Structure 1
Amino acid sequence: MSGMTHKAGFRAPRGLANPHIQTLLPLLLPRSKLHVETELLTLPDNDVVELSWAQPSHPDARAPIMVLFHGLEGSIDSPYARTLMRTATDMGWRAVLMHFRGCGRVPNRGLRSYHAGETADAYWMLSQLTRRYPNALKVAVGVSLGANVLLKLAAEQGGDGLDLAGAIAISPPLDLAASADAINIGFARYYQRHILKSMKHKMMRHVEDGRLSRINRQQLKALDTFWAFDNEITAPLHGFGSATDYYQRASSGLMLHRIELPTLILHAADDPLMPINLLDRLPVPSRSVRIEMAEHGGHVGFIEYRQGLLRPWLATRVAQQLESWRNVPGRKPQTRLLGRNQPQD
């Protein structure tokens, strides 16, 4: 499969190629200025997800829409979210981020949360956009966990099952078990500890109000790896037999051959959350999927020097792709995936 990937246009600056430097750099750069309006969207089970709409919103109901799905414990305040939302808005797109359950400012009502394979909420949200803006071209962008959700949703829904012109998946954990292993090694454990702290904090509320009775405070605090947390919390809460069962059924990498929607996957070969040569172990993706692999970039990093300043390459690449899909008149761009007809690197 490695021969089917294309070389990404990203080049890491000298001295900043280390994957952990790339992963952490976005946290250190100035945040994009972004004004948002919050909407609470009620789901079929009467829980809610929080939508953040970039402002000012385009007045034309036919203006194209970029939908963003964030990463694990991410939000509208994540650096990549602000950057991509601002990029789309500056291009004349309507931009909206869907917070997964409990990731916005409003706690979710139910015990059920979200996970890497949970596509129902995203599908419902997209269907509501279709009702509101039936004549607007729509593109979805997913980052990390959100990218896995988006790829799985595209695989499940077939070519015409989604009102999307295309999908962009940034640093998706294509094999969740392999990623859970990788994040438990070396410096990557720093990310695991940081994210688990947030996840356990949210679950502690349910332990204390008695709704999560299968585990006590001390047992919850003791869960120190994704494997442990997903085995004891995520899997049983969402109908999986174990963490292994959850990872197997939720990983999008095993479904890439089923995707009919024009899809761009952006990845870095040194992503600390993805084992080296993982793509070689996955099924060959469909012709609708284009994978662009950078030698460096870390996990959702991709920070380059441009005009003497450190800037996010992701904003440039996503803008190129949005523009490409926007220019396809009156139809889903089945043949206009940027670079589709270029020779492979």
Structure 2
Amino acid sequence: MTWAYRSPGWLPGGNLQTIYAAKLATAQSLPDAAWQRERWPTPDGDFVDVDWVNRDLTGPRPLLVLFHGLEGSSSSHYSQSFAAQAKQRGWRMALPHFRGCSGEINLAPRAYHSGDFQEIDWMLQQCQQLHQGPLLAAGISLGGNALLRWAGEAGHAAHHMIQGAASVCAPLDLTASGQAMGQGFNRWVYTRMFLQTMKPRALEKLVQYPSLFDRDALLAAHTLYAFDNVFTAPLHGFKDTDDYWLRASAKPVLADIRVPALVLNARNDPFVPAWCLPRANEVSNCVTLWQPQTGGHVGFPAGPFPAHVDAMPCAVLDWLQTTLP
């Protein structure tokens, strides 16, 4: 199965396709009441907030677990569209928020990061305990990298947890993506946007733990590299940004994946340079690569003006459905 995506002719270029999808395109949004929130206590005394769709449905129907991207949540345009697609199919869906992303600051002296496969494993275990039917997992951008990192680490054991996995626009080579985000338009637009929320959240952690990191160094950070050097890397056990980006990248473990996995990346994604995308000889036989020429970063707008962003989630769920027994 393949997906022959083509971007609308009136919306050229990866940046336009990225920004339009996130800010202007129509999605099958859900009313607030459609999400049901549940709080899970974590083993380290913290909590994770999980938003559900079709939470109360019973029977052997699939459960889709969606892992959001950097600074994402259940309000993100892709989350809304995946939820709508799952609801239409009669699937249950769970969106576990990474630490601090649910609208309430978390408690532990940590946040979240691109390679946190241990957190993915714990979240999937909770879902497995709460659901009797087949489990499917999808990850967007950062969440996709973390999910594939988990799948590679788990190897054959992943079969005991999920039927299939899908990543969308994951930065599989974090060094390549990090360098791209630190230059030109990416730095002045996307990086600035991310840091507008990342810095305040980090400063909230400093109120909880006054000696956690250097406040002045954080305020002086104007790139993701600098931010990760001060905050993300040391809080999560990495020596520095270079060590974090190297060890957290999923690309080196794609050959170790032993569960059906879809890896979708647009070749004009401004966050993920096309030259660093995996080739067929770098992944296991369980991995399917979709690399359309266009789509941007978690964009993939479709249709005449005004475009919608439902085509990609629909294609991804169609693929995941082929992994079901």
* TM-score interval for Structure 1 and Structure 2 normalised by the shorter chain: over 0.9
- Distance (whole Å) between structure 1 residues aligned to residue 302 and residue 249 of structure 2: 30
1:14 pairs with 2:18: no
Structure 1: state its 5+ residue gaps.
Answer: 1-5, 329-345
1:126–1:209 CA distance, 2 compared to 1 (3 A): closer
Q: Can you list the C-alpha shifts for 1:195-242, whole angstroms capped at 9, x where unaligned?
A: 1121111011122344344312x3321111111011111111111111
CA distance in structure 2 between the partners assigned to 1:24 and 1:179 by the alignment: 18
> 1:309-328 maps to which residues of 2 (within 5 A)?
310-312=307-309, 313-326=311-324, 328=325
* Amino acid in structure 2 at the alignment position of 1:147: G
Describe how 1:5-84 pairs up with structure 2 within 5 A: 8-26=3-21, 27-34=23-30, 35-54=34-53, 56-57=54-55, 59-84=57-82
Paired residue type of 1:196: L
Q: 2-side partners of 1:7 and 1:60: how far apart?
A: 31
The separation in 1 between residues aligned to 2:205 and 2:211, in whole angstroms, is 5
Contact residue 256 and residue 284 of structure 1 kept, 8 A? yes
Conserved 8 A contact 1:32-1:86:
yes
Q: Paired residues, what number?
A: 318
Is 1:116 paired with 2:114? yes
**Richer in strand (by share):** 1
Return the alpha-carbon distance in structure 1 between the equivalents of residues 142 and 227 of structure 2: 16
Aligned partners of 1:181, 1:66: CA distance in 2, in Å? Answer: 32
Contact kept in structure 2, 1:111 and 1:211, CA below 8 Å: no
1:137 matched to 2:99? The reply is no
Q: Which runs of 5+ in 2 are unaligned?
A: none
How much identity, in percent, do the aligned residues show?
35
CA distance in structure 1 between the partners assigned to 2:153 and 2:260 by the alignment: 14
Structure number with higher helix proportion: 2
Once the two structures are superposed, residues 172-191 of structure 1 have per-residue CA deviations (whole angstroms, 9 ceiling, x without a partner) of 10110111111122221211
> C-alpha distance in 2, partners of 1:212/1:281?
44
CA separation of 1:283/1:180 partners in 2, compared to 1, >3 Å: closer, same or farther?
A: farther
Match of 1:156 in 2: 153
Does the 8 A contact of 1:43 with 1:121 survive in 2? Answer: no
SS at match of 2:277: helix
The residue identity in structure 2 corresponding to 1:115 is H
Match of 2:147, SS state, is helix
Alignment of 1:78-227 (within 5 A): 78-133=76-131, 135-161=132-158, 162-189=160-187, 190-216=189-215, 218-227=216-225
